[in-house]
Every structure is written in C-alpha cells, then in structure tokens.
Structure 1
C-alpha cells in the first residue's frame, strides 16, 4: 500500500512555482503616471464644464440685466399736478382741454407769448383731456369747482424726468428744447412733477403716443390665443399619443405617421402661418387678426410637440404595470385609462406646458395671419381683432420714438415672466405627480 501511494504521488506533477519576475502591470511607476494623467484630464474636463456653465449663466445675466436696465423705467410714469377749474359750459360741450391749459398757464404767469404757451401745452400728454373726462364721469360733483388733479405728462417730459436725455448736450443734439427743459425743471421744483406706477402699461391697448401705449390688449390677446390652442391641441394630442403608443398596429402606415409627426415638429413655424393664411383665412373665410385663427395656427404647430412628449411619457411607464392590470382582468382600455395614463401624467403635463410656452413666444405664424395690426381696443371675444405680446414687441421695436424703447424692453420682461411662470408650473406639476420606480 505504501508503494502504491508513493507511485501515485510521484505521478502527480508538482505545482509550478511562479518565478519572481517584474512587478504587476497595475503597480508600476508607468501605471501611476497614467492614472495621474487620467485624473488630471478628468479635472480639466470638469473645470471646462463648470466654466462653460458659468459663461452661459453670465451671458444670461447680462442679457436679462441689459433688458431690465432699459425697461424698468417703463413701469413708472410722470404726471403733472394742476389746479383745474371746471366750467360747466365747457364740460357740457366736452371741452376738457381748455381747463387743463388754463391751469398749466397759471403756473407760468411770466409766459405770455404764443410760442411760449405752445411749449407749455406740449408738456401735457394728448390723452390728458380724456383722463380729466374720465375723472368727471366718476365724480360729477367736480363740475363747477376747482380740483387738484394729476394728469399724464408728454413722453418727452417723462423721458427727461427719468434721466434718458443728456442735459450736457447742446439743444440741437439733445432732441429736446431748452424751453421744455426749463419748464419741466420749474414744475419739478414746485413739486408739481412726480412719478407713479404706470398702470396704463397693463390696462390700455396700443397707441401712437408712447405715454398712452399699453400692452393690456396684447396680454388679453395672448391669453385668448393660448386658450384656443390649449382646447384644441391638448386633447387631440394626448388622444393621438395614446392610440399610437398603446393601440395602433405596428405596420407601414403607422410608421409613416410617426415619421411625419417627427418631421412636423421640426418644420419652421412660418410654414404653419402660411397654412393658416391659405386655409383658415382664404378657404374658410375666418376673421383676420382674431385669437380664434391664431389659436388654430398655434394648435397645429404645438400638436406634434405634445404628441411626441405624451408618447415618451407613456413609453416610460414600466410594462409590469400593464401586465399586472391585464392579469387581474382589466381590459386594454381600462389598463390605459386607469393605470398607464395617470402614471404618465407628469410627463404629459410637462410636454403640454412646454408646448404652450413655445406657442406664447411665437411671432412669425401670427404675422402671416394679420395679427400685426394696430389694435387700440382690448379684445373681448375670440373673433375680435387682437394682437399678442411677441407681435407687440416687434411693433414697438420698430417705432422711432425714444419712449417706445423702454416699453419694448418692459414687454420683453413681461413675456419672459410668463414663460418662466409656465415652466415653473411644469416643474411643480412634475414633482407633485412624479412616481419613481
């Protein structure tokens, strides 16, 4: 037995002994250098990314800061205090200009010539008589008495009071006569020139006079247009996404539809304006420059975006939800309506609100259907003539008056505020309804 064990032991070759060779590939100095180089490259990449984010944030701050610096003064308006004697005969004839001019001339008794009084008359806005008429309509007891009223100053006086005219320039280069500057300084010294919040900017429609121009009509027009857009594009877009993702057979036709939807999402917006011009205005004869037509055009433009976002949200729901619902006896329609769609709601809402924000900021399609018209009255219905905020900004930016520059920037700030609000709502709704798997 001992001999057998010795023979078997001798037949088994001994385990090889690893020779002491060079150090492992992962322990040498060359590996340490490569590791340090990789770490340095990663640090450089991170610093480059942080620098890119910082530069982008700086550019954004500079952009918004420059707009805010030019537009902040538009939220304030300059008014002139006058002691107005309302003659019943003048009020009965609708002459509200004469009382205002008499009160203004009374503050400058030394000015007796016609040219000087014409300069004084130019201190008042052309809409000041209408303001006085509105005051009398609210308080008829003013007639036959002397009342202290504050009326809107002319846009040049308003710009002077806000410091937008350089006083050190000669009269010919300044764009404002020395006589007007002296009269405005005299009113300011007497406490008859003051600034207050510009409610007209939000309550009035457009005007040829900058001090009377407001974006109220554009805001209402934008809201009415978005209302039509939302009522048309949201239900149709969600229904189309549910059908294509959950029920449509996967064949050549559905593939063609999907390709066309993706292509429509990338079509320039002005193409939809041309479509609206040819179909809604040319063929159906709908009213030009109306929120109804604008909403129809915006609905066509945002529909592909909503469909794509809704399909992505539906696709993100785990298949186990569908399998579990079908396993307990739910029909395919019940599975989608009671289980899949509620869980996909955060993504659908986010895509919908982003689509509405895109529609709010569009200009080109609405220019094609005539919403660039000069609209003085605030629209009260879907078929009234209206404009929207982006188009109002476009129109004011093209105006030569200095005062329209600040109103353009103010309208941009308001539009950015609406866009930030819509995106904030999208983030909040997503966090409220979001489910993590």
Structure 2
C-alpha cells in the first residue's frame, strides 16, 4: 500500500516548498529574512472590528454552532456592500453565502459542480486554487492567457471549438493574483456575452476589489446585465480590512451556483465562529475610512518598492492594483528560472519572493513580490537587492522608475 492516493497523484510537487525550506533554514541560523513571498497582510485589523469581536465573544450564546451559509445579518451586510459599491442588488437569502475565506469557497464550489473529466478554463498564471481546486475535483484544466483583452477572448473561442467535452466553467480574477492585471466593465460585458452564448459558468475572484491605485476602480462582473444568469463572484475581507487570519469570505450571484455551494457546505462545516461573523458585519456596515487608509498604505509601499527596485537596476512594472508586483526576472538571471533565482535572492540578499512557476508554467520568468512589509523594511529590502544585483554586474540606471503595465502573459 505504497501507491499515492488518486487525488494526491494529480497534484504536482509544491513549487514553493524549496524556497520555504531555504527561508526556514536561514531563519534558524539567525539570519534576518525580509519575507515578501506570501500575500499575508501585516497591518492590524481596524479597532472597531476587533472591539465587536471581543464584545460578541463575551456572550456565551455565541459559542455554539453557527450557520453554515452565514448568519442572516452578515448576508444582508454583504448585499448592502454590493449595492453601495457596485450598484448590484442581491437577494441575501438566495444569492449570497458566507465562506471560510474565498479560497475555501472556490474549492468547495469546484467540488460541488464538477464531474470527472469536465473541462475548466483557468488563466495561466493564476492563484493556485483556481486550477487545483478543480483538478482535485477531477476536472481537466485548460490554460488561457491571463490578460483581460482580446488574447483571452480569442483563447476562449478556441477552447470552446476544440475542447472535448465543451468547457463548463471559466475562472477570472481581477485585480489579479499574481499578475496585478485589472479588468474594466467593458471587458466583463464581452466575457458575459460569450459565456451566456456558450452556456459556460463564470467564477470571478474579486478578493482585491478595494486594493487599487489608479483611475480604474475594479468593477464587479455582476454589474453586467444578465451576469447573474451564469456568474458567481467570490469576495473576501482578508485584504480589504486586514482580516486574513479571520477567514471570512463570500460567494454571491447565480442562484443555482450559490445553492450548490450551500448544499455541499452544509455537509462540511457549521460556518465561521459566530463572533467573527458579527465582527464581519461591523466591518461591512461600519466606518469605511479604514479601507481608504489600507489602500493608501499599499500605494505608498508600492511606490517605495518600485522606486527602490528601479534604482537597483531591476525594471519592475508598477502595479495598478492588488498587493503584489509581478516582476520579470532580470535578464542576467533569466536562464536560472524563477525557483533558482528566488533561492539565490534569498541566500545572497536575505529577501524572499514567490517564484512565478508556482502560479503556472506561464509564470516562469517572473517572481511575485508582496507589499507585506512596512516602508522601512521595503527600503531595506531594495538596498539589499541593489547590492545583490551590483555584485552580479547589473548596472544601475539613471532614468525614472518604470510606470509601464506588466507585459502580457504568453498564450
């Protein structure tokens, strides 16, 4: 009985493992590692949210089992957020469900709607759960370009014509993790029209809805007329309110998909701890100044990081959203690949980043850099990177920081 279990066999070796092991070993030796590899917000949750948690947890009645789909007040609060932010009306009873973070929701919906052999369309590169949630459920994943443009639309058309069986679902994620691409409402209109024509469900991951820095404010795909016929959207409080460890997310939109997720979750969990749900209501319904402050914090960090990297001789595009920079590996190191480059950067500069290969084969040639340290630590990181690059003969430019957009992913 030494053969690996069937579903485990479908999962490739964890790309981030070797970098994580090297990081742990360096810290065990007492080295100061600046960890920009994981998208783990370092800012505290706003005080009024924490206060509501403490207040609620002191009521012993809140210690009992909760409701798998989320308490009614929380589902109403999410519907209120969608109406204020996106001008989208949702039925809290039939079109909203609370999840244990958006990652859990995506994985469980994949399990609920997938039959073995189904074809699912997933951007490449993308957040790992987008493809592996469906692979675990038995689907075949077909990669499409990650850019919200004609490249993706053309690839979708080819996929429908040449995939057997015909694709049943499509994943989109804007602002994107890891690429930081943003999509506008016009693109979503084309996507919805295509999906409705071909009867393909759309699963939109909008976890970074409130982390944006330019003129394009990320829209919801549900704002497109008719989108709820085929689309469900996942959101999260993790980044918006610095509540990553609280594990509070949502799925909203298509009634059939929400019902499928509700049914499968009813067999798997009793929902988040009630005080966390009540605190989440306080987050959504309470003062929103904290959201603007968190956004401004990430923008400041982005500017410090991009300026520092450019001064070091590493021309990294300035992201317009998300909490990441998608950085092409400097030409000097391109032949190493993203995993070896990440390990070398860790060993010689003491800076941890995420190898692009971990987000799909078309992530090779890039690393993801998280805006998850304060500006002092980011400056320290860019100084270390500057020394690292200089030691390898990379020249430092005299021009201003790059403001170009990330180059498109390969199709």
Q: Which has the higher strand share?
A: 2
Larger radius of gyration: 1
TM norm. shorter chain > 0.5:
no
TM bracket, shorter-chain basis: under 0.3
Q: Which has the higher helix share?
A: 1
